[in-house]
Amino acid sequence: MPWLSILMGVPVVGALAVAAVPKGSDKLAKQLTLGVSLVVLVLTLAMAAQFDRSGARYQFSEVHDWIPSFGVHYAVAVDGIALVLIALAVVLVPIVVLASWHDADRPEAKRSVKTYFALILVLEAMMIGVFAATDVFLFYVFFEAMLIPMYFMIGSYGGAQRSYAAVKFLLYSLFGGLLMLVAVIALYAIAAKGTFLQPELLGAIKDPTTQKWLFLGFFIAFAVKAPVWPFHTWLPDAAAQAPAGAAVLLVGVLDKVGTYGMLRFCLELFPDAAKFFTPLILTLSVIGIVYGAIVAIGQTDMKRLIAYTSISHFGFITMGVFAMSADAGAGATLYMVNHGFSTGALFLLAGFLINRRGSQYIADYGGVQKVAPVLAGTFLVAGLSSLSLPGLSTFVSEFLVLIGTFENYVVPAVIALSGMVLAAVYILWMYQRMMGGPVQESVKALPDLNLREKFVVAPLIALLVVFGFFPKPLLDVVNPAVHQTLTTVHAPQFTPAIPVTAEKKGAGQ
Amino acid sequence: MSTLTAAAIEAPKIEYGELAPMLLVFGAAIIGVLVEAFTPRYLRKSIQMPITILSMVGALALTIWQGAQGVRNAAAMGAVAVDGPSLFIWGAILLLAIVSVLLINDDDQFVAQAAAVPGSAEEDQAISEGGAHTEIYPLVLFAVGGMMLFPASNDLLIMFVALEVMSLPLYLLCGLARRRRLLSQEAAMKYFLLGAFSSAFFLYGTALLYGFAGSVDLSAIDKALATVGGQDTLLYMGAATLGVGLLFKIGAAPFQAWKPDVYQGSPTPITALMASGTLIAAFGALLRVFWVALGNLDTQWTPVLWGVAILTMIVGAVLAITQTDIKRMLAYSSIAHTGFLLTAVVATGKEAQNVNALSGILFYLVTYGFATVGAFAVVTMIRDAGGEAGHLSRWAGLGKRSPALAGIFALFLLAFAGIPLTSGFFGKYAVFAPAVAAGGVGLVIVGVVTSAMAAFFYVRVIVLMFFSDPAPEGPTIALPSMGTAAVVTLAAAATVVLGVFPQPVLDLAHSAAQSLFVR
Amino acid sequence: MELYVPIVVLAVIAAGFAVFSVGIAPFTGPKRWNRAKLDAYECGIEPTPQPVGGGRFPLKYMITAMLFIVFDIEIIFLYPWAVAFDQLGVFGLVEMVLFIVTVLVAYAYVWRRRGLDWD
Amino acid sequence: MRALLADPAGAPTLADFGKDPLWISIIKALFIFVFLMLGVLFGVWTERKLISRMQHRYGPNRAGKFGLLQSVADGLKMGLKEDILPRTVDKVVYILAPIIIAVPAFLSYSIIPFGPMVSMFGVRTPLQLTDLPVAVLVVLAMASIGVYGIVLAGWGSRSPYAVLGGLRSTAQVISYEIAMGLSFVAVFLFAGTLSTSEIVAKQASGGTWDLGSISIPLPSWYAILLIPSFLIYVITMLGETNRVPFDLPEGEGELVGGFHTEYSSSLKFAMFMLAEYANVFTVSGLCITLFLGGWRAPWPISLWDGANVGWWPMLWFFVKLALVFAFFIWVRASLPRIRYDQLMAFGWKILIPLNLAWILVVATVRATRVEGADKTLVMVIAAVVVVGCLAIYFRFDTVNQRRREARAAEVEAEFERLRAEPTAGGFPVPALDLPHYHGVNGRKEVPSGTN
Amino acid sequence: MTTHYLVLSALLFAIGAVGVLVRRNAIVVFMCVELMLNACNLAFVTFARQHGNLQGQIIAFFVMIVAAAEVVVGLAIIVTIFRTRRSASVDDANLLKY
């Protein structure tokens, strides 16, 4: 049965249903959204259960002609990488829905609540689609179309600077996307295969210079999307202005599309170019790691701070992607998932704090752990995961990335290590400033997490811990795909022994 | 000369059947004039409207029938080319014209009595009498007929006549806005003066090419080109001036100056008609001239068109950013789109590329036509005390006052910006792809950058509509008449459908382009 | 060309005569300066000369001029048709019927819009 | 048709022109010039004499025998008059206008055929200055140029009467020019050429119209064959030359002198007079050429073989000319001047549609004579044409009827109101105590009135 | 010898074009356009003579009609403006700013 189509169809139908909900009955809309997203989650798990990790690379694939005269197909399928990322998305969505239960309905700015949730569902469908697409053109379509719902979510439900942030976000991504469009067209024209199916295009471009140009076309788009260092400036604004839920989806999932794209298209379609540009990209990502971390330390606005931390983390991911080694790749993939969870948790908790206190400035907080211990505790856990404390899932991925990088490129890996140290600084210092210390007047009456919020945070924390100690299921799914990716790049092969050791190390702490 | 005149003249033969769509439209126009002459005032509108719509629908049916028959030849002694592109363009023009006529139909758009001096007593009287110029219907029909003949004419003389038949009614229609009449009259005057100027250039180019080839028949010019004689200067000057005339009509930089003024000043339904129909017709003619007549000269004109295309895109995108009037902004955006279309015109060379480029252009024209008609239709509905609320600031917070309308307008804007899942995206792809294939990567990159710039001001309008708070005593949303509502829904539907499932139209365009232009 | 030479000759003679007599006029007649004589004749009341570059005149005349142009153009087409009628035969007849009918339609419109009435 | 061309008399065709040596052309040109000058002098005299006879007066009888020298005297008088250049006029235009109006008046005559081929000083040449494939167009062109003279005269004078007069006569002339041009079409249909000499040749003998078996002989003169065209032309001829009953432009009652108000009677004014009469002769000549068989002898005389050979035809031409000119005078003596709106309405609403309908009828009839024409189609077209013409005519007729009645009622009501209180109409009446205007006091003036 | 006519027509055309660009009175501008059209006519007739085919002369006819139609439409528009603002200067028509 066409799992992926169903996965995309359900949220769309749900979105229409939500949009059709009569005015005034916002509660119904929210419940409906939550229900739909849970259904999608269940379906995804059902699908994942059937995923044969030792089977063909692409599974559940469907291919239909869409626009024959352009050689465009509606072609979807998942390999391990895509699967875990889809899983990430569908897990995050219900959590976000639950988290942003009251975000939309702020009476002063009378926005339509149901629209917000409908947008979330549309976005979910597109996120699934973009990860599942095996047709370059289809991927591009989702890649661009995703911007619109996110644009509206930021623009009409965000903070004070929302419209500026939204426009910046849209224009940056659009610009990158349009460059990618040129590359897509050129790819089609030069490959002259008359099709956009990614598997058929593998190795279609022989001429190295052409490869380099096309690679750049794709890479810049992805670099803007997953903010690699010079292209990152839109992220802090967008993430800071977006409502917490949207921020989670933005940083947690949307940006992964960029790194995913690098892995899936930049590497596989243009291996030679990829090799050629690897040093440059590693440099950029190392810069990103350090820069992001340092700037994060200096932030006074917690959302911006978290945004900068993720810039640093994306540095790790890109480094892993381009380290061209099996476990670096696996680590990067894993990192995408875990980062989604940890940053998601951070953003959500920050959101809760902001909703309570009405300010996102770190200086306005202090001593929260006394008044709201649970909140503070979860915040600490999330923070620790963000600095990849051993025992939490992020550590595994970061460790794998570093190891993998060591194998090929020592210097960047070493410099990247400093990122971990800096991470400790910004996270702990933030925690200390906000949660520790004397209780501020303003936070005296700060209520602790309520039941809904507990339900929001619990699964995230659980996932972080579980995968921290037992990443094997993820790795088993991811590794084959990464291997095949690397084989297409003709990179040196490695036996997938490391992940187990990694797990041991993880357990050993 | 006398010896020549003495030579026996044999009566030419004319395929009335193949020209039927045009003849039908023109005939209806003439009947419309008769109606104006002989029916009492209160009956006119109720007679004119059906005549106009029915004739166009009939013409559309005939066109489709011919397309199904696969008619492909030059009718009327090779003066009018009834080939694939012509038929496709006819269909597109007729569709868009029908849609625009639905807009034109709600009559508070048009002046009660054109001759009355604005603000004078007689004007007030005319308005109070509820008078309206039903002449607009025949005028529109004439204009549409001209639009159909213009791209189909296979001979520069016919093309010139068609150009005028298309333009003259539009000149008049531009001046007939009911509100802001001074603006409207000025627009009419500027459009007229510049238009006449450009057609003079077109004509002089025709003269020079005639001097070069000894005939104004496009294919004859082509043949003469194949054996270029000593008169190259004539050829080059002729081609240049002819090109100037044509570029003027499509509003390509540096000849775009008339577009904003005219679009802003003229009554919005007419703007919609011009922005869709005239552009399509002019582009058809441009392609025919450059590919059929000057096909062998492409090494000369391709670089020029490169420059023009780049300049047009940049001018359109940059100047649009500074606009504060919605109609002016749309005008500049249409200039930018002209530039995008020109990128595909550059893609000549191998036949296949021609076919792809041609079908791409045709497809783009259709998508853009529908989006723009819809956009202008929305503009007519946002009213103010003094007519339409032109100034952008008046649109602030529209998204809250009427989300549906604002949403649809946003949809059109996104289509202009070429966001996937709207028609505009595939349009852009369809013109950029052949350009890249023809080695115009640089051009396409410029196009992409400019369309990013263009996206900026489209997005700005969306921001204004949705993210900023409504202006106090903002504009009223006029309750749409049946026609307007139909237009908006139709255009929106077309934009979405073409954005999700463009294949049928693409096939149509491709099969139309398959035969290229008949020579 | 040489068909036109005689016309030129005649033109020279006629022009010569006209210019001569207009030129000679000031010298043959007497000179009796009288300011009143030099004023435009308006039945003895204060003359109201038209402004330089022409005054305003009723639009009616413009409309007449336009109609004249239209019909004059029609005539331009009628003459060659008439001369070549025998060669064109029925086709010519049909086309000309269409042409004249078309013009008559416009004519009827003008008529009904009081374009031809002077009052 | 071929048969008509085979004509015993040396009827010139286009081929015979353009062969003259220059001096012959000069002689012919001079002849035409002199002929027109004398014609004008004699014409003025004839007009005055004839009209006064018709009005039981003597007319000019002092200067010379029968006052023959009267117009000569007038001419001299004009020459000796003071040439006034009003202060307000636009000098250049004012002086140029009479020249512009006079020259074309002469030129039109260059294509009027006076006779067949003759031998002039041993050179065999047609009695016609020249002929062109588009000869008749020359006449029309010259007429149009003459119109410039009129309008410029009015414009340059820059006084209300002159401007209005100029515009009026321009409007009139161009209106009637259309009707005139249309009335030619039928002739060209039959003649199949625009060259005057060939048109004359075509009128040598009427062809026959084979209708089935019976063959009806056609009259040779187009005036009879195409009588509607002829009548229309005669009317437009009057309108074109601003003659009674269409002499609105210098309608003394309303416009003082019309466009030449400011041209006090000096040689400039003489130019206008000259042009007016020259135009009369031109249209008469054209009338003769196109409709009255040109220089060819009328029927009884034409039985004599020598009638159309040598110099004789010139005589027939002059006789015809005299008769047509007499017709002008006769009309002037018998008809009143008509109102301007009537004039225009007549030109636009009657002559033009009539003309077009007539052209279509002629063309249809003609088409039946074209070889291999499909008769039924022609007949169908004919039916359509006739029915259409009638329908439109009746429609207009009723409409006009209604409008006329409404108009009359209005006028009646107005009149009633005015009878009630005379000043209601508000016609501008100059104040009774308006000071007599003496101009600005400046240099010593010769009091007006003293000569 | 036909080149003279061509040069003349080119000159007329140039004069017209310049006039359109520099003159400010709408009527004058319009007359300049007409001048350009007539320059085209001259060129057409000359070329017809040069090529010895009648096409050019026929075209001249059509151009005349078009010119006439333009006169009719254009003067109507200009007169309307003139009635409205008592001036036919292009400069006064400045409601449409860039």
User: Which pLDDT value is given to residue B31?
Assistant: 93
**Residues A77-85: what's their mean pLDDT?**
87
Confidence band (pLDDT; 50, 70, 90) for A494? very low
- Phi–psi pair at D208, nearest 5 degrees: -125, 150
CB neighbour list of residue B77: distance below 8 Å, 6 or more residues apart: B12, B13, B14
| Residue bearing the bigger pLDDT, E87 or A317 | A317
Q: Is the peptide bond before C51 cis (omega within 30 degrees of 0)?
A: no
In sequence order, which residues have a C-beta less than 8 Å from that of residue D159 and are 6 or more positions away? Answer: C40, C41, C42, C47, C48, C49, C50, D86, D88, D261, D262
| Domain C2-112 in this protein, CATH class | mainly alpha
What whole-number distance in Å separates Cα of residue E33 and Cα of residue B197? 6
Residues of chain C neighbouring E41 (CB-CB closer than 8 A): none
| Amino acid symbol at D47 | E
Query: How many domains in chain A?
Result: 1
CB atoms within 10 A of CB B131: 16
Mean pLDDT of B177-193: 87
What residue has token string 């909140």? A375
Q: Which residue has the tokens 């995206």?
A: B425
For the segment D227-232, the average pLDDT, to the nearest whole number, is 92
Check CB contact under 8 Å for B11 and C88: yes
Q: Flag if B2 and D14 touch (Cβ within 8 Å).
A: yes
For residues A103 and A249, what is the distance between their CA atoms, to the nearest angstrom? 14
What distance in Å separates the CA atoms of residue A449 and residue A454, rounded to the nearest whole number? 6
Q: Which of A5-19, B81-95, D334-348 has the highest mean pLDDT?
A: B81-95
E61 touches chain C (CB under 8 A): yes
Say if CB B147 and CB B166 are below 8 A apart: yes
Q: Is C90 in contact with D81 (Cβ distance < 8 A)?
A: no
* Segment B477-483 mean pLDDT: 79
What average pLDDT does the segment D10-28 reach? 83
Q: Is D87 in a helix, a strand, or coil?
A: coil
pLDDT in tens, D235-279: 999 988 888 788 876 665 566 667 888 887 678 888 888 898 999
Tell me whether D42 touches chain C (CB under 8 Å): no
pLDDT of res. D8: 44
8 Å CB contact of B467 and A155: yes
CA distance B492 to chain E (A): 30
Higher pLDDT, C34 or A273: A273
Q: CA-CA distance, B282 to B248, in Å (whole number)?
A: 9
Q: State whether B37 and C92 contact (CB < 8 Å).
A: no
Q: If you search the block for the tokens 């008078």, which residue do you land on?
A: B131
Q: What is the pLDDT of residue B143?
A: 95
Q: What are the chain A neighbours of B414 within 8 Å (beta carbons)?
A: 148
Give CA–CA dist A342/D431, Å, rounded: 104
- Max mean pLDDT among B108-122, B394-408, D90-104, D257-271 falls in D90-104
| E71 in reach of chain B (CB within 8 A) | no
More confident residue, D418 or A180: A180
Closest Cα in chain D to B4:
D133
Q: Helix crossing, A147-157 with A113-132: angle to 10°? A: 150
Contact residues, B window 204-223, toward E, CB-based 8 Å cutoff: 204, 206-208, 210-211, 214-216
CB contact under 8 A, B503 and A69: yes
Kindly indicate the confidence band of residue D444, based on its pLDDT and cuts at 50, 70 and 90: low
Q: Provide the residue-wise pLDDT of chain E in tens; the chain has 98 residues.
A: 678 899 999 999 999 999 999 988 888 899 999 999 999 999 999 999 888 888 898 899 899 989 999 998 998 888 888 877 765 555 555 544 44
Q: What is the pLDDT of residues A445-481, one digit of tens each?
A: 778 778 888 888 888 888 888 888 888 888 888 888 8
Q: Are strands B382-384 and B476-477 parallel, antiparallel or unpaired?
A: antiparallel
pLDDT of residue A200: 83
The pLDDT of residue D188: 92
Q: How far is D210 from chain B (nearest CA, A)?
A: 24
Hunting for tokens 């930018």 — which residue is that? B336
pLDDT of A509 reads 37
| Assembly ipTM | 0.84
Distance CA A254, CA C76 (A): 73
User: Could you give phi then psi for residue D220, rounded to 5 degrees?
Assistant: -85, -40
Collapsing DSSP states into helix, strand and coil, what is residue A104? coil
Domain that holds residue B119: 15-514
The answer to whether residues D274 and D71 touch, using CB atoms and an 8 Å cutoff, is no
Number of domains in chain E: 1
Classify A396 as helix, strand or coil: helix
**E strands in D133-234:** 208-211, 214-217
Least confident span in B21-35, D4-18, D327-341:
D4-18
Pair B441, A127: CB distance under 8 Å: no
Q: How confident is the model at residue B230 (pLDDT cuts 50, 70, 90)?
A: low
Read off the pLDDT band of D428 (50, 70, 90). Answer: low
What confidence category does residue B5 fall into, taking pLDDT thresholds of 50, 70 and 90? very low
Question: Which residues lie across from B387 on neighbouring strands?
Answer: B384
pLDDT value, residue B90: 94
Separation CA D418–CA D398 (nearest Å): 30
CA-to-CA dists, residue D355 to C54, C73, D183, angstroms: 36, 15, 6
Domain locations along chain C:
2-112
Contacts with B199 from chain E: Cβ below 8 Å: 66
* Shortest Cα distance, chain D CAs vs residue B357, angstroms: 48
For the CA atoms of chain A, what is the radius of gyration? 21
**Both tokens of residue B403?**
């989300």
Residues 99-158 of chain B with CB under 8 A from chain E are: 114-115, 117-118, 157
Query: CB distance C69–E68 less than 8 Å?
Result: yes
CA distance D110 to D32: 8
Do D350 and C67 touch, CB atoms closer than 8 A?
no
Task: Dump the DSSP string for A193-230.
Answer: -S--BHHHHTT----HHHHHHHHHHHHHHHHHHTT-GG
| Chain D contact for B42 (CB, 8 A cutoff) | no
B476: helix, strand or coil: strand
In this prediction, residues B86-90 reach a mean pLDDT of: 92
Q: Which residue of C has its CA nearest to D112?
A: C7
Q: Compare all CA atoms of chain E with the CA of B120 and give the residue at the minimum distance.
A: E84
Highest mean pLDDT range out of B229-238, D224-233, D382-391? D224-233
- Check: CB of residue B22 under 8 Å from CB of residue B53: no
Instruction: Tell me the pLDDT band of B6, cut-offs 50, 70 and 90.
Output: very low
Residues 6 or more apart whose CB falls under 8 angstroms from that of B98 comprise B53, B56, B57, B60
Instruction: Give A395 or B140, the one with higher predicted confidence.
Output: B140
Please check whether residue A255 is in contact with residue A226, taking contact to mean a CB–CB distance below 8 angstroms: yes
Q: What is the pLDDT of residue A487?
A: 80
Q: Residue A311's closest CA among A399, A432, A376, A230?
A: A230
Among chain C residues, CA nearest to E68: C69
Predicted pLDDT at D154 = 84
Q: Report the pLDDT value the prediction gives residue B349, as an integer from 0 to 100.
A: 66
* Two structure tokens written together for B408: 């649809």
Structural domain contains residue E98 = no
pLDDT for residue C55: 64
Looking up residue E62, the CATH number of its domain turns out to be 1.10.287.3510
CA angle A381/A384/A385 to nearest 5° reads 90
Band (B1; pLDDT cuts 50, 70, 90): very low
What is the average pLDDT score of chain D?
82
Helix (H, G, I), strand (E, B) or coil at D287: helix
Which residue, among A263, A296, A256, A257, has the nearest Cα to A422 in the 3D structure?
A296
Is there a contact between B326 and B376 (Cβ–Cβ < 8 Å)?
Answer: no
User: B436 contacts in A (CB within 8 Å)?
Assistant: 182, 185-186, 189
pLDDT at B140: 94
The whole-angstrom separation of Cα A259 and Cα A246 is 19
Buried b (16+ CB within 10 A) or exposed e, B311-346: bbbbbbbebbeebebbbbbbbbbbbbbbbbbbbbbb
Instruction: For B137-173, give the DSSP string.
Output: HHHHHHHHHHHHHHHHB-BHHHHHHHHHHHHHHHHHH
Rounded to an integer, what distance in angstroms lies between the CA atom of residue A309 and that of residue B333?
Answer: 40
DSSP string, B281-323: HHHHHHHIIIIIISGGGHHHHHHHHHHHHHHHHHHHHHHHHT-
Residue with tokens 């899983």: A87
Chain-chain contact of B436 with A69 (C-beta, under 8 angstroms): no
Q: Provide the pLDDT for residue B350.
A: 66
Using a CB-CB cut-off of 8 Å, the residues of chain D touching B5 are: 133
Report whether pLDDT(B130) > 80.
no
pLDDT score at D424: 55
Distance CA B263, CA C95 (A): 38
The answer to whether D133 contacts chain B (CB < 8 Å) is yes
Residue E37 structural domain: 2-85
**Residue C40 contacts D where some CB pair is shorter than 8 Å:** yes
CA dist B44 → A386, B24, B47, B246, D399 (Å) = 76, 20, 5, 36, 18
State how far the Cα of B84 lies from the Cα of B287, in Å rounded to an integer: 13
Rounded to an integer, the average pLDDT of A404-429 is 85
Of the candidates B10, B12, B37, the beta carbon closest to that of C109 is on: B37
Is there a contact between B510 and A69 if contact means CB atoms under 8 Å apart? yes
Side chain identity at residue C81, one-letter code? W
Could you read off the pLDDT of D147-183 as tens digits, one per residue?
Answer: 898 888 888 888 877 888 888 888 888 899 999 999 9
Q: Burial code of B278-294, b = ≥16 C-beta within 10 A, e = fewer?
A: bbbbbbbbbbbbbbbbb
Closest-CA residue of chain B to E49: B1
CB proximity C100 to B under 8 Å: no
**Mean pLDDT, to the nearest integer, of B387-404?**
80
Is residue C94 scored above 90 in pLDDT?
no
Q: How many angstroms separate the CA of residue E97 from the nearest CA in chain C? A: 30
Contacts of B445 in chain A (CB under 8 A): 179, 182
- pLDDT grade for A108, boundaries at 50, 70 and 90: low
- A106 pLDDT band (50/70/90 cuts)? low
Of B182, B183, B189, which is closest to E77 when you measure between CB atoms? B189
CB D89 within 8 A of CB D259: no
Two tokens, residue D270: 């003489």
* Total count of domains within chain B: 1
Give residue D1's pLDDT: 36
| pLDDT band per the 50, 70, 90 thresholds, residue A502 | very low
Q: Do E59 and B200 touch (CB under 8 A)?
A: no
Whether the predicted pLDDT of D6 surpasses 60:
no
Q: How far apart are the C-alpha atoms of A421 and D277, rounded to whole Å? A: 116
Question: Domain range for residue A162?
Answer: 3-508
Strand partners, B73: B82
Q: Choose among B11, B33, B34: nearest Cβ to C89.
A: B11
Separation CA A427–CA B353 (nearest Å):
58
Contact C96 D360 (CB under 8 A): yes
